Amino acid sequence: MNSFFASIGENLYSQIPQTKPLMPNMIYPPTFSLSSTTVQKVREFIGGLNQGKACGLDVLTARILKDAGEKILEPITHIFNLSITAQTFPDV
């Protein structure tokens, strides 16, 4: 009886049909990476923010970001890039 329970997992595993990977060229486990951004990309992102949407936990509205405009682009871009480089992101 003990050998039955000791070998049940192995026996069940051997009965599972082998399948081909869905994406054979994909690296397992999948990897994810971020690359640094530019002032221009941050400018475009802020320009595309909808002022009718609610702000997030940081309480920065789209209007505040748009009104601050060019004055904050370089510092924000620098903070984003430091976060990506250090692989450190704020907790929500």
Above pLDDT 90, what percent of the chain? 45
pTM for the whole structure? 0.60
Q: Are 65 and 49 in contact (CB under 8 A)?
A: yes
CA distances in angstroms from 47 to 8, 38, 92, listed in the order given: 60, 14, 24
Residues 65, 83: Cα–Cα separation, whole Å:
19
* 42-74 pLDDT, tens digit each: 999 999 999 988 888 888 899 999 999 899 999
For tokens 């890039």, the residue is: 81
In 73-88, which positions are buried (b, 16+ CB within 10 angstroms) versus exposed (e)? Answer: beebbeebbeeeeeee
Per-residue confidence at 28, pLDDT binned at 50, 70, 90?
low
Checking if the pLDDT of 30 tops 70, the result is no
